[in-house]
Amino acid sequence: MIRVGFGFDVHQLVEGRELWLGGVLIPHSVGALGHSDADVLLHAICDALLGAVALGDIGQHFPDTDPRWKGADSKVLLAAVMQLLKEKGWNVGNVDCTLILERPKIMPHVVTMRETIAPLLGVAIDAISIKATTSEKMGYIGRAEGVAAHAVALVQKGA
């Protein structure tokens, strides 16, 4: 049995915050605002995985009103999502993502992100694809006010 899920997330970029993307701290002048570490890419992957198995969304499982998740490392959230999938017998097939932001350049960090995410999902690095694009200076992403991520995940179980 195979299922596919989709995830989307967006966070505001502000001064005085760290920029965590794909589980990696990216050196930059601004960072993502959020209750947790605001890792937009890991949040989109969490929602894609939850969506594939119809287990709700990241906001239901880790509400931003819960002090437990204040400043949380999103790798911990992703591991918790994987635990939910494993309990129901699901394994990850592959994940494909696109980050949308004006700057900084993401490509120098993509291999580290893939190496960080793959073991959390129990897959090889070649099952994790991360792409990046800009918004061509249009809209809130184009004005560097925010960063967004899309993800799709395939999950499977049984023979």
DSSP state of 19: E
Q: Given strand 31-32, what is the order of strands in its sheet? A: 31-32, 2-14, 146-156, 91-100, 128-133
Identify which range of 7-15, 22-30, 101-109, 129-137 contacts Mg ion by CB under 5 A: 7-15
Question: In this complex, which beta carbon is closest to Mg ion, that of residue 9 or of residue 102?
Answer: 9
Query: How many binding residues for Mg ion (CB under 5 A)?
Result: 2
Site for Mg ion contains 9 (CB under 5 A): yes
Task: Report the distance separating Cα 69 and Cα 74, nearest Å.
Answer: 9
Whether residue 119 is preceded by a cis peptide bond, meaning omega within 30 degrees of 0, is no
Question: In this complex, which beta carbon is closest to Mg ion, that of residue 28 or of residue 157?
Answer: 28
Site for Mg ion contains 43 (CB under 5 A): yes
Backbone angles phi, psi at 144, to 5 degrees: 60, 30
Nearest distance in Å: CB 111, Mg ion: 23
Nearest distance in Å: CB 155, Mg ion: 21
Q: Which residues bind Mg ion (CB under 5 A)?
A: 9, 43
